[in-house]
């Protein structure tokens, strides 16, 4: 069991879910009358928060029937026609609240009529993103002491679900229990044993769980230093699989209630190429090589995948002799010019 700060922070996630989910639900519902009448949803974030935005695109689309916009901060640096964004609600995610390009983009959109909701752990009202927002929903998950984000990622996933109109309270309790069981059963250590020695690692999922796969890849890059990527299971066959070899590893998350055919197509192709892979699924998923306890709500399973990856990476880092809590090229707050 890894003794890193990263692992300790990850293991505090169930307590955060149990203590904060009801408040997140209440505050998200209280915001709804402020957001009514605006038909465009804009999602804004970088890094892990950007992966939360990708997750949120699925939930907002399922709830409204309209695809949200994942805003690229580069746009706010360009000379563009002054468009009217007064039909838009911007959900801006930044754990620290100090990400300069996210705050600048939020301010750019606000100046063009958008209503900005900040999702952050920042307590100070002068934090960059808080200053740019009309409304603030605070995560309340406490400080993140390691560079790789852990508990704040899961907190943002659940806040995003609440903002999308979902009831998160039951799912939060179930997810917390699943996380505790995953840790107690040493499932991260078993997954780490499969991934050890890989040249690269690819994480695959479908639907909202792609956000968990993307963040799993990010955690592997920043905590262990292994080249990693995350893809939709459906997208993987459209080119990326051609780079896979027997020196690589693929993690296929099948616990999403998505069509089995896409998973079968990927596993058949991986077998043909001799690429080692492992299927993660529910305890009643026949094809799962590593069975996981999962919450009833399919959207909440992205959080389980993210949590499993966090502890797996912490364990791998220990095996590799890497300190996952710090990185010579990374800082907790990234200033983007």
Looking at residue 285, what is its pLDDT?
81
Q: Are 205 and 212 in contact (CB under 8 A)?
A: yes
Q: Are 292 and 186 in contact (CB under 8 A)?
A: no
Is residue 262 pLDDT above 90, yes or no? no
Give me the percent of the chain exceeding a pLDDT of 70: 95
Q: What is the number of other CB atoms lying within 10 angstroms of the CB of residue 242?
A: 9
Is residue 259 pLDDT above 70, yes or no? no
Looking at residue 277, what is its pLDDT?
97
3-class state of residue 288 by DSSP: coil
Report residue 244 as tokens: 């896979």
pLDDT category, 253, cuts 50, 70, 90?
very high
Give me the percent of the chain exceeding a pLDDT of 90: 88
Distance between CA 165 and CA 192 in Å, rounded? 36
Q: Are 118 and 130 in contact (CB under 8 A)?
A: yes
Looking at residue 307, what is its pLDDT?
98
For 9-39, what is each residue's pLDDT tens digit?
999 999 999 999 999 999 999 999 899 999 9
Is residue 256 pLDDT above 80, yes or no? no
- Supply the mean pLDDT for the chain: 94
Is residue 1 pLDDT above 70, yes or no? no
Looking at residue 288, what is its pLDDT?
86
Looking at residue 263, what is its pLDDT?
86
C-alpha distances (whole Å) from 180 to each of 13, 14, 57, 187 are 9, 7, 28, 11
Q: Are 74 and 50 in contact (CB under 8 A)?
A: no
C-alpha distances (whole Å) from 122 to each of 127, 128, 136 are 7, 9, 10
Looking at residue 261, what is its pLDDT?
74
For 104-150, what is each residue's pLDDT tens digit?
999 999 999 999 999 999 999 999 999 999 999 999 999 999 989 99
Looking at residue 222, what is its pLDDT?
93
What average pLDDT does range 324-337 have in this prediction?
63
Is residue 336 pLDDT above 70, yes or no? no
Looking at residue 334, what is its pLDDT?
57
What average pLDDT does range 262-289 have in this prediction?
91
For 208-247, what is each residue's pLDDT tens digit?
999 999 999 999 999 999 999 999 998 999 999 999 999 9
CA 92 to chain centre: 14
Q: What is the CA radius of gyration of the chain?
A: 19
pLDDT category, 73, cuts 50, 70, 90?
very high
Q: Are 209 and 175 in contact (CB under 8 A)?
A: no
Looking at residue 327, what is its pLDDT?
65
Looking at residue 133, what is its pLDDT?
98
Is residue 335 pLDDT above 80, yes or no? no
Distance between CA 239 and CA 254 in Å, rounded? 20
For 161-216, what is each residue's pLDDT tens digit?
999 999 999 999 999 999 999 999 999 999 999 999 999 999 999 999 999 999 99
**Length in residues, the chain:** 337
Report residue 317 as tokens: 């880092």
* Residue 243: exposure state from Cβ atoms within 10 A (0-12, 13-18, ≥19): exposed
Q: What is the number of other CB atoms lying within 10 angstroms of the CB of residue 287?
A: 12
* Residue 200: exposure state from Cβ atoms within 10 A (0-12, 13-18, ≥19): middle
């Amino acid at each position: 069991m890894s003794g890193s700060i990263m692992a300790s922070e990850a293991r505090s996630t169930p307590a955060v879910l149990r203590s904060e989910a009801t408040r997140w639900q209440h505050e998200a519902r209280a915001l709804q009358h402020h957001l009514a009448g605006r038909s465009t949803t804009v999602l804004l974030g970088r890094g892990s928060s950007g992966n939360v935005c990708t997750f949120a695109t699925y939930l907002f689309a399922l709830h409204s029937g309209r695809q949200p916009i994942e805003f690229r901060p580069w746009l706010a640096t360009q000379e563009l026609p002054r468009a009217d964004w007064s039909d838009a609600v911007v959900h801006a995610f930044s754990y620290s609240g100090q990400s300069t390009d996210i705050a600048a983009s939020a301010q750019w959109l606000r100046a063009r009529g958008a209503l900005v909701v900040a999702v952050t752990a920042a307590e100070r009202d002068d934090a960059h993103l808080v200053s740019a927002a009309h409304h603030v929903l605070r995560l309340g998950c406490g400080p993140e002491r390691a560079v790789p984000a852990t508990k704040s990622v899961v907190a943002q996933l659940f806040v995003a679900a609440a903002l999308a109109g979902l009831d998160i309270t039951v799912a939060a309790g179930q997810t917390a229990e699943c996380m505790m069981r995953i840790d107690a059963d040493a499932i991260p250590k078993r997954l780490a044993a499969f991934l050890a020695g890989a040249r690269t690692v690819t994480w695959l999922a479908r639907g909202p769980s792609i956000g968990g796969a993307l963040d799993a890849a990010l955690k592997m890059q920043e905590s262990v230093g292994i080249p990693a990527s995350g893809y939709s299971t459906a997208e993987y066959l459209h080119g990326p699989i051609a780079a896979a070899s027997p020196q690589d590893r693929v993690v296929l998350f099948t616990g999403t209630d998505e069509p089995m055919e896409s998973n079968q197509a990927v596993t058949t192709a991986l077998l043909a190429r001799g690429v080692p892979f492992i299927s993660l699924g529910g305890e009643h998923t026949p094809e799962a090589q590593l069975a996981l306890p999962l919450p009833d709500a399919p959207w909440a399973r992205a959080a389980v995948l993210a949590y499993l990856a966090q502890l797996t990476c912490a364990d791998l880092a220990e095996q590799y002799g890497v300190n996952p809590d710090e990185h010579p090229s990374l800082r907790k707050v990234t200033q983007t010019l």
